[in-house]
Amino acid sequence: MTRTILMASAALACLAGTGFADTSDKRIALSNNYAGNSWRQAMLESWAKVTGQAVTDGVVAAADAFTTAENQATEQAAQIQNMILQGYDAIVVNAASPTALNGAIKEACDAGIIVVSFDGIVDEPCAWRVAVDFEAMGKSQLDYLKTAMPDGGALLEIRGLAGVFVDDAISAGIHAGVEENPNFTIAGSVHGDWAQDVAQKAVAGILPSLPEIAAVVTQGGDGYGAAQAFAAAGRPTPIIIMGNRQDELKWWKEQKDANGYTTMSVSIAPGVSTLAFWVAQQILDGKDVPKDLTVPFLRIDQDTLEANLETTPEGGVANVEYSQEDAIQVIEAAK
């Protein structure tokens, strides 16, 4: 009896969400290359939360997450081959390398499996890419500064880890923005490795040789360290663009309450894994989805600071989880 009611309600749920029924027997796997920082931890949590609900609702049959231990392409390629053997219908992948997994990805495509890569994307043409426009993210910082300080000024650029393509892309966006706004000049540039303490040390080292700095352009995970370095040098605090980390938002809130400090914060929400999940679900559902999709940034401004700080866990990163409707919107926008 209970069983019949359960099945009836499941059937109702399927009816309510149109198009759900087609993927209810499909199984999706997440292949993840790394879990060792707060961003990745939040990414996995979002996946578990959203896909767990989707499985309960009968949208898909399974959505299992697998993380490799060593962050190595060979290990991840073997993991993907296992997923092919296990008969998953779609594989969502955050890749250790844009090229080194291509062989395994091609095998999956040839076996009729849908492959959706996100964040760490792959360039094998048969896979879908949910990519971040890091260049636009860098440029958006200058767009903000242009309105915040129309007179311009000297900028200090804090870059990420040298040799990683994300660092080059964000920096290229920042430099393109500076070129468009000749009021601004980049007075100095250091590498902060996306870590607060490294950024603090690097900024402290170059600060004495710099003129007055109007603003600091960053890549995320380095804003708090920069603020500490300015304070230690006894310099006035410039506008420091933040990167959605909880310690950065907390510092911003304290400054805002104390002296009306204004800035903005931009980064990618770890919940992008759930967007990739829904994209895979839409493809399995037979929807026509372009191969290249772009993830929206998560931007926090003066008036949304409190709300975001409240929902961000201590030591974590500001996050949003995506719904099926969000995925459909992103797909429509790419067409």
Q: How far is the CB of 285 from other proteins (least distance, A)?
A: 38
Q: Return the residue of 44, 55, 204, 320 that touches other proteins, per CB under 8 A.
A: 204
N-terminal to C-terminal alpha carbon distance within the chain:
47
- Rounded to a whole number of angstroms, the minimum distance from the CB of residue 82 to other proteins is 27
Of the candidate residues 58, 173, 188, 238, the single one contacting other proteins (CB under 8 A): 188
Shortest separation between residue 43's beta carbon and other proteins, angstroms: 16
Map tokens 């961000």 to a residue: 312
With b for 16 or more beta-carbon neighbours within 10 A and e for fewer, the 194-209 pattern comes to bebebbbebbbeebee
Instruction: Return the residue of 201, 253, 256, 299 that touches other proteins, per CB under 8 A.
Output: 201
Nearer to other proteins, 87 or 313 (CB): 313
**Which tokens in the block code for residue 295?**
């993830």
How near is the Cβ of 251 to other proteins at its closest, in Å?
Answer: 8
Q: Looking at 31, 46, 228, 274, which residue binds other proteins (CB under 8 A)?
A: 228
In DSSP notation, 49-116 reads: HHHHHHHHTTSSSEEEEEE-SS--HHHHHHHHHHHHHTT-SEEEEE-S-TTTTHHHHHHHHHTT-EEE
Does residue 209 touch other proteins according to CB under 8 A? Answer: yes
From candidates 208, 310, 325, 335, binder to other proteins by CB under 8 A: 208
Instruction: Report the alpha-carbon distance of residue 115 to residue 148 in Å, rounded.
Output: 42
Beta bridge pairs of residue 92: 30, 116
One residue of 39, 88, 224, 277 binding other proteins per CB under 8 A? 224
CA-to-CA separations, 202 to 209, 223, 232, 269, in angstroms, rounded: 12, 12, 13, 27
**Would you say how long the chain is, in residues?**
335
Interaction mask 270-309, other proteins, x per CB under 8 A: ----------------------------------------
Q: Which is nearer to other proteins, 144 or 194 (CB)?
A: 194
Q: What gap in Å lies between CA 39 and CA 225, rounded to an integer?
A: 18
Residues that bind other proteins (CB under 8 A): 38, 159, 162-163, 188-191, 195-198, 200-202, 204-209, 224-225, 228, 231-233, 246-247, 314-315
